[in-house]
Structure 1
Amino acid sequence: MSLDAFGSVGFGALAGSEPQYASFVEAWLANRRLSANTREAYRRDVANFLAWCLDGGIDPLQAMFTHVNTYARHLEQQIDVRTGRPLTPATVARKLSGLSSWYDFMIKLGVVGTNPVAGADRPYVSRDHSATVGMSPSEVDALLYTAALDSARAHAIVTLLADLGLRVGELVALDIADLGHERGHRTVRFHAKGGKQRRRALAPGTAEAVDSYLRQRGERAGVAPEELSGPLFVTDKGRPVDRHAIFRLVRRLAEKAGIPSAAKLSPHSLRHAFATTARAEGVPLEDVQDAMGHADPRTTRRYDRDRHNLDRDPSYAIWAARARRAP
């Protein structure tokens, strides 16, 4: 089985010869609290490893850490179809992490005795660096301006990504019913990474961008905005907008806005920009961490591209406090 088109392997191709593998994976996924997008990503990751094993005559249930090491080197040579570049160490590490979780589940079932990923040589991923290309506040402003000229839907999409720092999977999964009012705030509820339900406040401008889009959508459908239902963002044909469409939209708008790094941007770039801007505006790290749904503050710090800015050196605050105390 060829893996040239990386990421396209599915269990439909595996079920004919080794259906038990698919059953093991589905049992594993059913026992994890995962979002639909994460579940599908894990399913693809394990499917690709199983296909690689079967192509090489390796029994996945007898795989050793040396096999996983060879597979990791194989992944490092694969091209990411979105970027045209080899998979990043972080991506390879994530794929191996999912595979390790599957093997841990298999140990609990008594199907295998050891986890071959546990002893494998995983790529080093720095907590202080991210391969995602960030955006400056002025670039985000230019993107929002261009999106507003493009369409009400594009403006609402980019506004939610920029103002809330949502993951693209969280955005495309939004339903109109997720919008609401709580304690005087306009809000949106969504399922975050790990299947956790979260809510965020919509600032006035953010809410207006969404309302404008819904008004326009209602006019086209011949109904009042409050009568609309279903996915929040749909195509002109009424189908849910998927993550790939959001990815293409961000790059198209960025190019139109004249942003130099347009060809390397992604929806995640806006999530990074959210963290950087929030911290630059003085929002406490713990509040940004909570807003982004990070369990570890070190993850939030990695998103903050301006954290090494000398203007934010604590020495200035200490000196200013001492000066205020001086007689």
Structure 2
Amino acid sequence: MQELATPTPIAPPPLWALAAASYLARYSGNTLRSYTVSLRLLFTWCTDHGLDPLAAKRVHLELFVRYLEQERGCIPSSVAHHLTPVFGYYRFATIDGYLVADPTAMLRRPRVFADTTRQLALDRDELRALLAAARASTASELALVAMMALLGLRVSEATGARVEDLGVVIRGHPTLRIVGKGAKPATIPLPRAVNEMLLAAVGTRTHGPILLRPERGPLPERPWTRRAAALAITRLCRAAGIDKPISPHSLRHTFVTLGLDAGIPLRDMQVAARHSDPRITARYDRGRLDYDTHANHRIAADLLDAAE
């Protein structure tokens, strides 16, 4: 009788990998993918230097920051982006008992300053022109623009919205249910015109994504991706005669700034944009006013008018 082979025992994963799995289990979607990439950079750097990630001290992590800056050529905002999950990883490794002390407690984090005056949005006329260009293109592209510029959805929320989540009427208003940032559900009231745009994009379908890219050659209709949405917005802006570098997020920015321009209170716009912190909405408010109310205008006007 043939003897059964003794199974080879599987080595347990190292503690640093268990700590990473425990930390990343908190996240999903784009956040999970982004944090995984950043932690992989850290773990690869540690491996290249013969260092267990859980044995890293602050000095090692300072050298990792220098590696990101000097060898990888990351700009300060990218370094800060990669360090966010690194800080989280070590904080939770300490909480979970893998470490006695958090080595990131005094770690240098690059300072990143947001120039709100460079955040681009469309004015009313430009948005009307963009909507006209989308209307002349396809129903799906018109719905895409409307969902971001007139509802304030993020591009992932717009491309992920489904037909099954349309049609519920609350207090006489048609609504759209979405899953927002951080897996937070939200119910968005739909203005009549926007609801008609979405229904036109859906057609006779009863399930699946609301937005489908049209057939192109041998390619059938298929869901939108973030990249496809960005390329479509660029093309539609060109057709509308808009020469600003507009991205999908610029349309969400447009939603907020046009709402503030219309006199909607900051608190109400925070709720509409689903910002977790009113300071996020306030940045849009400062950005839209910086050029119009900048001190340069008053100083130049006072001096030059007096000199004439």
Aligned length: 278
Match of 2:38 among 26, 37, 45: 45
TM-score in terms of structure 1 length: 0.74
> Which residues of 2 match residues 175-190 of structure 1 at below 5 A?
175-179=162-166, 180-190=168-178
For 2:234, the equivalent position in structure 1 comes to 251
Aligned to 2:111: 124
Q: Gapped runs of 5+ residues in structure 1? A: 1-15, 80-85, 216-223, 313-327
Paired letter, 1:144 = L
Could you report, residue by residue, the CA deviation over 1:252-311 in whole angstroms, capped at 9, with x for unpaired residues?
22233232223xx32111111111111000011001111112121111111233244657
Write out aligned runs for 1:127-276 (5 A).
Answer: 129=116, 132-179=119-166, 180-215=168-203, 224-225=204-205, 228-235=206-213, 236=215, 237-262=220-245, 265-276=246-257
Partner Cα separation in structure 2 for residue 252 and residue 77 of structure 1 = 36
Q: Does 1:277 align with 2:258?
A: yes
Amino acid at match of 2:163: I
Looking at structure 2, the residues matched to 150 and 205 of structure 1 have their Cα atoms a distance apart, in angstroms, of 17
* 1:306 corresponds to 2:302: no
- Give the Cα–Cα distance (whole angstroms) in 1 for the partners of residues 145 and 99 of structure 2: 46
Following superposition, the deviation at residue 229 of structure 1 comes to: 0.6
Query: Secondary structure of the equivalent of 1:150?
Result: coil
Q: Distance in 2 between matches of 1:181 and 1:87?
A: 48
**Aligned match of 1:58:** 51
Evaluate the alpha carbon distance shift between residue 150 and residue 89 of structure 1 in structure 2; reply closer, same or farther with a 3 A threshold: farther
- How far apart are residue 211 of structure 1 and its match? 1.1
**C-alpha deviations, 1:7-41, integer Å up to 9, x for none?**
xxxxxxxxx9x7655543332232x2x45222222
SS of the residue corresponding to residue 306 of structure 1 reads helix
**Distance (Å, rounded) in 1 between the aligned partners of 2:148 and 2:179:** 15
Structure 1 or 2, whichever has the larger Rg, is 2
Q: TM-score, normalised by structure 2?
A: 0.79
Partner of 1:26: 21
Q: Is residue 94 of structure 1 aligned with residue 94 of structure 2?
A: no
Q: 2 CA distance for matches of 1:154 and 1:167?
A: 15
Gaps of 5+ in 2: 1-10, 295-308
Query: What CA RMSD, in Å, does the superposition of the two structures yield over aligned residues?
Result: 2.9
- 1:164 is paired with a residue whose SS is coil
**Conserved 8 A contact 2:16-2:52:** no
Check 1:67–1:276 CA distance in 2 against 1; reply closer, same or farther (3 A cut): farther
- Relative to 1, partners in 2 of residues 1:74 and 1:140: Cα closer, same or farther, differing over 3 Å? farther
CA contact (8 A) 2:42 2:64 kept: yes
Cα displacement string for residues 157-197 of structure 1 (whole angstroms, at most 9, x for unaligned residues): 11101012211222222121222321111111112222211
